[in-house]
Structure 1
Amino acid sequence: MINLQSSRLHTIVIVVVMLLALGFQLVAIHEQSLSGDGAYHLIAGYQGWRVGQNRLNLEHPPLVKTIMTFPLLFDEPLLTEPVPVKNILAAIDNIHANALLIRRATIRARYMALIFFVIPFLAGCYYLGRYIAHWPTGIILLCLVAFSFSVIPTLTILQTDTAVSLGYLLTLLALFRLLKTKSYDSAVVVGIAFGFAVSVKFSGLLLLPTILIAVILIKPPARSYWFSVRRLSLIILSAWIVLELSYWAINWNYTQEVGRMTIRTYTHGQAMVVRDQMQGFEPLLLAVESKDPFLAQWITGMLGVYTQNSIGVYPVYAFGEVSYWGRYGYFPALFLIRVPLVILLTGLFAVFYFLKRGKFTGQPPRQKSAEILLLLVTVGAYLWVAVTSNYNLGFRHLIPIIPIVYLPAACWLAQHRAVARVFIGLLMIEALLLSPLWMNATNTWWLGEANPTRFVFSLEDNFIQLAKYGEQHNIKKLNVIDPGTGEKQIQAYIPDARLLKWETPLEAGWYAVSVRVEQFVPALLYTPEDSALKQVAQQWHPVWQTVKTGQDFGYAAGSFHIYYLDEGQLIKPGKAQSP
């Protein structure tokens, strides 16, 4: 009877936690506008289904896009004709012209992400905690991940980070099984999981050190020198098969002519900003294409990402500076600022607690020493690449290792159930208070206007919430200053909005200034380099200074500064306003 009641309680708790987690995800699905590469992924996946050729966005493997865009095949056409890569920016703007369609497409694609990636990822968090300790640890780890305000908004946006995070969990759990059984079947399962990880994002490759160490840790029978080699070969073969299958669906109408042309658009720098750095790879890629076209596409995308990272192409704002080059402290600082304080402080305490006691959830460390070593290697390899990378793009890039990093806190809280209930309650309250503006929040949000970390990193726009702000304040026409965003992208959510260019005449009325303007313009004006970005900042500076003279209504939608400008405060564009 006791076991039956315990089993029922276990099931009830898991169901309740998952339902609460899904509740937050439903808000994220419906209350966040399309952002980042989301529109590009929609176009690439939809076009792949329609024409049967993977021509776009090779820098992201196609599996996630293929799955997320499947429901779009049963709606009105997102595209009327195939889009060449040189026209992709115009295509992104054009698909927003049909506001109802793009919003339907976004929501349906996000539901596909929820079903195929988010729910399994959350389940994987539970199984990781349960395997390392016991089921209460699994449930607590699930809660810590699912109710973190920094994790909630990233799971269903149309990116590949949640999928590769699932791949990490599946691979680790499969490796734990391989350590126990040492069987060929377990090696195949590891290969399938690893193949899934590299089929959704190139960062899945960072699991290789973990896999190699796991294979080494398997104790072979005496005089069986090929024991580990055979298992490693099975893992690689299984992963390759999964990778091939993932490219097949989007290449059902593959032709060598189009395939080779697509490769050349990348090697010649027409599809990615790689300058002339990929031309030397072209003979190799074409040679691979003649033998294995799908592998050639994967390698092309991987080399494109590698090349971009090596030359630095994305200007990123952090701590008052704009740089194309990565900062060693970027991701550590991002982690310290974006992880909820409850988890951050508990996790740090738990690490010292377990190190001091030499025990992990009441068990001698040697019982799980191999598994813990694999977790440490995974985090170490991933963080090393992240810290040394020039891709300083956001918290979502940390999601693959978040369950592992949160694990010490979950283990400690599992030993202190009363504290765990309070902490999980605090996490949920924090997530509710920040809803739906989780994306740009920091863990010192409760300081309000005095929050020193509010704008230290680049922010994401949420036009759905900006539209709601306009409705609540009866703003009929909103002038938006948001360089780099297309007018149709804004009007898909705010039909009467006017997107300003720097030379656009100002008029009396309401203005929403993207925080990116407040970040980038001052930072670029004081850089010594005479870059194109600095020239853009010089063009926008007088416009921004003029709008700042209007009545200040504070910040809205997490990333916009609202002003009202009257007739007496207008000046001609291009003329500087005294600060």
Structure 2
Amino acid sequence: MINSESSGLSSIGWAVRGVLLVSTFLVPVLIMKDKSATYDEVAHLPAGYTYLATGIIKLNQKHPPLIKEICAFPLLFLDLKLLVDRKSLRGINTDPAYEWNYGRDFLYRDHDADRILFWGRVPALLLSLSLAILVSVWSGRLWGQRASLLALFLYSFDPTITAHAQLVATDVGFAFFATLFLFLLRRYLENPSPKGLVLSGLSLGLALGAKFSAVMLIPMMVVLVIVAAWKQGSDAIGNTVINRGLVSTERTVKLTNLLRERSRSKRMISALAATGLMMSLALPVLWLLYVFPTDPLIYLKGLKAVNRDHDPNFLYYLMGELKPGGWRTYFLIAWLVKTPIPSLLLLAAAILLFFRGTRAFWLDEAFLVVPAISFFIGYSLGADNLGVRYLIPCFPFIFIFTARVATRFVAARRGMRAVVAILLGWYLIEFVAIYPDHLSYFNQIAGGSRKGPEWLDDSNVDWGQGLIQLRNYLQKNPAKDYRLCYFGSGIPKYYGITGRRFDDFSILSPPPKGTIFMSAHCVARARAIMNSLYGSGPENWISHTPPKTIVGHAYYVYEIRDGVLQ
């Protein structure tokens, strides 16, 4: 692997790394105690508890069990009611609505929902912390100490990572296991050994057990392994011939080509055998994660069930428009407006260095570029337009790749050091300014976080996490007669929020009298509906009226008295 400077960290470097790792874990801990359940957590965490308590994988089969099992583990030490026995659980049908109803009952009926969520989220944070360490280690092996710290800094203070690291969801956990697999695979190709092969295969199984998107790792693995075998075989023979001084003769050229072809053939066969062994090692891991299922096709059936409960006529939202089927450019736009500008600029600098640099270590860079681009394209072509969170598996590879700007080539220039320092300061300011509402972050390209609903909806702006903040606001600012447009799968009344419910299609001109609390998701979709009905006319009140205030970057508060907006 590349290493442009000593890989060892100085005492100051270790101290900085320690501070960054503590921040990576502690900041989300401080945030999540004031965040209610997000949409998927209501189904994921209770389902995981049933897996561990009964050994039956029945609920929420449209996602593999690993992340849910990890997050539910602390719940085994709490005094919780299962609400369903093993016999009944086995007889449950696959109606998607059941898992959501069960999840709501489990969290809100007889239990302390916030306590359950807190302890369920701690393992998710530990997975994020593990990913932060892995990002730091990998970048350090490639680019050295400064790069290790830079990559860790980018990870620790990325708003999207911070927002989703604290949730019982698959995105960050899968990012960890996918990155771990590719890191171990690269080390195996660097120094092949039975131990390396076994570790790679087991980590592939864990990634497959984290999210069905992991199937994209299989073609990535095959391509990277075959290309590595092809290139390494060619280089090895060429170096052997050169070291023996057999150059500049026609006979030597023919001999070299012959030896290369033979070496390539052998290495290609070995490479294909290695990928087969890795996949065979992954299967027992899946079998274990599914608690020894009798159905050998349970994983494939779950893969087929992905998005089964999604409405095929659902209208996706982007930049003020609603459209069935969504947009291929959705994730590119979402990433560009939800990534801090300093991070984008540092990535641009890293890309410039990449094209200006040598290709001597192309395989190390391929292990960063291929996964990032493959996941990006894969999600753009196949995933629902529901949030930048789908791209989180790309982030570790982007951070490691970006960290190359901290190499000695850049660090030796005072001007560049100053520019990087300014960008990192800006990056940190962005992180602090949006605290504690990192899920709703938007950069200056979008006009800031207040403009978020003009660009995106769903988990980009509000995923149901703001109920506790809304309760706290109502305690300080009581409202006798108010309406609530809530986006989520929880129960607002659990927090004493008793406003009359309505959806985003119900807010048409003129608006109802009284106080309106609208989820940022509802604001986005109501804006699109009114734009299509009224254009920029006065009836389109939501586009012309700033809210009285915004609670937790999640709820827009409008005051309406006798048809007049206040």
- Interval of TM-score (by shorter of Structure 1 and Structure 2): 0.7 to 0.9
Matched, 1:365 2:359: yes
Aligned equivalent of 1:492: 494
How many angstroms does 1:297 deviate by? Answer: 1.7
Cα deviations by residue, 1:245-301 (Å, 9 ceiling, x for unpaired): 2112xx6xx6x6xxxxxxxxxxxxxxxxxxxxxxxxxxxxxxxx2xx2xxx221111
How many angstroms does 1:434 deviate by? Answer: 0.6
Aligned equivalent of 2:101: 90
Cα deviations by residue, 1:378-431 (Å, 9 ceiling, x for unpaired): 122212211112411112111111122233432113433554444333322221
Q: Distance in 1 between matches of 2:148 and 2:27?
A: 19
User: Which segments of 5 or more consecutive residues in structure 1 lack a partner in the other structure?
Assistant: 257-288, 359-363, 529-536, 538-543, 571-576
Aligned equivalent of 1:228: 271
Whether the 8 Å CA contact 1:96–1:492 is kept in 2: the answer is: no
How many angstroms does 1:497 deviate by? Answer: 2.7
Alignment CA distance shift 1:198-1:557 (3 Å): same
Aligned equivalent of 2:84: 81
How many angstroms does 1:554 deviate by? Answer: 3.2
SS of the residue corresponding to residue 159 of structure 2 reads: coil
Q: Equivalent of 2:117, from 82, 94, 106?
A: 106
Q: Distance in 2 between matches of 1:161 and 1:389?
A: 16
Counterparts in 2 of 1:468-547, with a 5 A limit? 468-472=472-476, 474-477=477-480, 479-482=482-485, 485=488, 489-493=491-495, 495-501=496-502, 509-524=514-529
Alignment CA distance shift 1:5-1:171 (3 Å): closer
Aligned equivalent of 1:268: none
Alignment CA distance shift 1:229-1:476 (3 Å): same
SS of the residue corresponding to residue 365 of structure 1 reads: coil
Q: Distance in 1 between matches of 2:380 and 2:31?
A: 28
How many angstroms does 1:448 deviate by? Answer: 5.8
How many angstroms does 1:306 deviate by? Answer: 7.2
Whether the 8 Å CA contact 1:192–1:239 is kept in 2: the answer is: yes
Q: Distance in 2 between matches of 1:545 and 1:101?
A: 42
TM-score by length of 1: 0.77
Q: Equivalent of 1:20, from 19, 23, 27?
A: 23
Q: Distance in 1 between matches of 2:498 and 2:217?
A: 46
Counterparts in 2 of 1:298-447, with a 5 A limit? 298-305=299-306, 312=312, 314-355=314-355, 357-358=356-357, 364-366=358-360, 368-414=361-407, 415-416=410-411, 417-444=417-444
**More deviation, 392-401/93-102:** 93-102
How many angstroms does 1:77 deviate by? Answer: 2.5
Alignment CA distance shift 1:468-1:448 (3 Å): farther
Aligned equivalent of 2:253: none
SS of the residue corresponding to residue 548 of structure 2 reads: strand
How many angstroms does 1:485 deviate by? Answer: 4.5
Q: Equivalent of 1:199, from 192, 209, 220?
A: 209
Q: Distance in 2 between matches of 1:432 and 1:483?
A: 27
Q: Equivalent of 1:466, from 470, 476, 482?
A: 470
Aligned alpha-carbon RMSD (Å):
3.4
Indicate the percent of aligned positions where both proteins have the same amino acid: 21
SS of the residue corresponding to residue 492 of structure 1 reads: helix
Counterpart of 2:45 in structure 1: which amino acid? Answer: L
Q: Distance in 1 between matches of 2:288 and 2:399?
A: 33
Whether the 8 Å CA contact 2:372–2:397 is kept in 1: the answer is: yes
Q: Distance in 2 between matches of 1:444 and 1:559?
A: 19
Q: Distance in 2 between matches of 1:179 and 1:485?
A: 45
Aligned equivalent of 1:271: none
User: Which segments of 5 or more consecutive residues in structure 2 lack a partner in the other structure?
Assistant: 1-5, 234-261, 412-416
Q: Distance in 2 between matches of 1:318 and 1:118?
A: 29
> What is the count of residue pairs matched by the alignment?
498
Alignment CA distance shift 1:480-1:143 (3 Å): farther
TM-score by length of 2: 0.79
Counterpart of 1:434 in structure 2: which amino acid? Answer: I
Q: Distance in 2 between matches of 1:4 and 1:406?
A: 18
Aligned equivalent of 1:540: none
Cα deviations by residue, 1:217-242 (Å, 9 ceiling, x for unpaired): 12468463642233122211111122
**More deviation, 233-242/214-223:** 214-223
Alignment CA distance shift 1:500-1:207 (3 Å): same
